[in-house]
């Protein structure tokens, strides 16, 4: 995976572990327990970012830092 570009992600989900209030207008808020389908990843480790959509509202696309989510696979 290239670290300085957005890379597609398959079958990855995250659950918000903290409430996230956006710091920029293009970011959307997350509430604890929100499930996000991750569609793209940027960076790695503690500097990683993710882009995806909420499972409860596929029209609501989110960008969030790695520290806001925990990961698992849904079946």
Each domain of the chain, given as residue ranges in start order, spans 7-72
Q: Name every residue whose Cβ is closer than 8 Å to that of residue 16 and which is 6 or more positions away in sequence.
A: 30, 31, 32, 33, 34, 35, 36, 64, 68, 69
φ and ψ of 68, to 5 deg: -90, -10
pTM of the model: 0.70
The 10s digit of each residue's pLDDT in 33-52 is 988 888 888 877 666 778 88
pLDDT tier at 75 (50, 70, 90 boundaries)?
A: very low
Q: Average pLDDT for residues 6-33, to the nearest whole number? A: 82
Q: Average pLDDT for residues 56-69, to the nearest whole number? A: 71
CATH number of 7-72: 2.30.30.40
d(CA 73, CA 25): 30
């Amino acid at each position: 995976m290239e670290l300085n570009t957005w890379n597609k992600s398959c079958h990855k989900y995250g659950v918000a572990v903290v409430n996230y209030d956006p710091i920029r207008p293009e970011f959307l808020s997350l509430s604890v327990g929100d499930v996000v389908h991750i569609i793209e990843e940027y960076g790695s480790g503690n500097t990683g970012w993710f882009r995806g959509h909420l499972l409860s509202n596929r029209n609501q696309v989110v960008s969030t830092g790695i520290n806001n989510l925990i990961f698992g696979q849904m079946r």
